[in-house]
């Protein structure tokens, strides 16, 4: 069942999580919108949470990866399937090399290079955020050039 449209976009968070090799953390969506598609981890804020708290929590819940927030990457509006979100994107650094494990509303989770992300069908809007996050990570010396 498609929920009724809301007046404006719902604030949410999204994460470009990078590891030391320059790979990006992806999740396969287990719930609408876009069930089954590969994308960046993220979700809604809980009452009283900051964007930074929410994005770190969502990454941990969806992937079991402990990551620290590095910086914001701006906001992106996403609409579809009766939903409208303003996703506040963030760059995060994985704290260790633990393999991701799908949890919460993620059906699967994995590390991927940029080319692998494209091959998995990550949407152009999400790839633009990935590119912004990788460029920021390179400029900060977090990943190889």
Q: Domain coordinates of the chain in residue numbers? A: 10-138
Distance CA 93, CA 65 (A): 10
Q: According to the model, what pLDDT value does residue 133 have?
A: 98
Kindly state the average pLDDT of the residues 115-121: 97
Q: According to the model, what pLDDT value does residue 6 have?
A: 52
CATH number of 10-138: 3.90.79.10
pTM: 0.90
Q: What six digits make up the tokens of 118?
A: 């494209």
- Min mean pLDDT across 7-11, 23-27, 69-73, 134-138 is at 7-11
Structure-token match 């809301």, residue found: 6
Does residue 32 carry a pLDDT above 90? no
* Non-local CB neighbours of 38 within 8 Å, separated by 6+ positions: 26, 27, 28, 29, 112, 117, 120, 121, 122
Does residue 42 carry a pLDDT above 50? yes
Q: Is 26 helix (H, G, I), strand (E, B) or coil?
A: strand
């Amino acid at each position: 069942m498609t929920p009724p449209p809301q007046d404006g976009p719902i604030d949410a968070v999204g994460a470009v999580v990078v590891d030391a090799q320059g790979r990006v953390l992806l999740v396969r969506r287990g719930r609408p919108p876009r069930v089954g598609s590969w994308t960046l981890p993220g979700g809604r804020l809980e009452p009283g949470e900051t964007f930074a708290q929410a994005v770190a929590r969502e990454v941990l819940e969806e992937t079991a990866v402990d990551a620290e927030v590095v910086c914001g990457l701006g906001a992106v509006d996403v609409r579809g399937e009766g939903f409208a979100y303003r996703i506040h994107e963030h760059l995060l650094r994985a704290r260790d090399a633990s393999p991701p494990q799908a949890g919460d509303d993620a059906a699967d989770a994995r590390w991927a290079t940029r080319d692998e992300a494209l091959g998995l069908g990550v949407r152009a809007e999400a790839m633009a955020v990935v590119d912004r996050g990788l460029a920021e990570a390179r400029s900060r010396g977090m990943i190889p050039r």
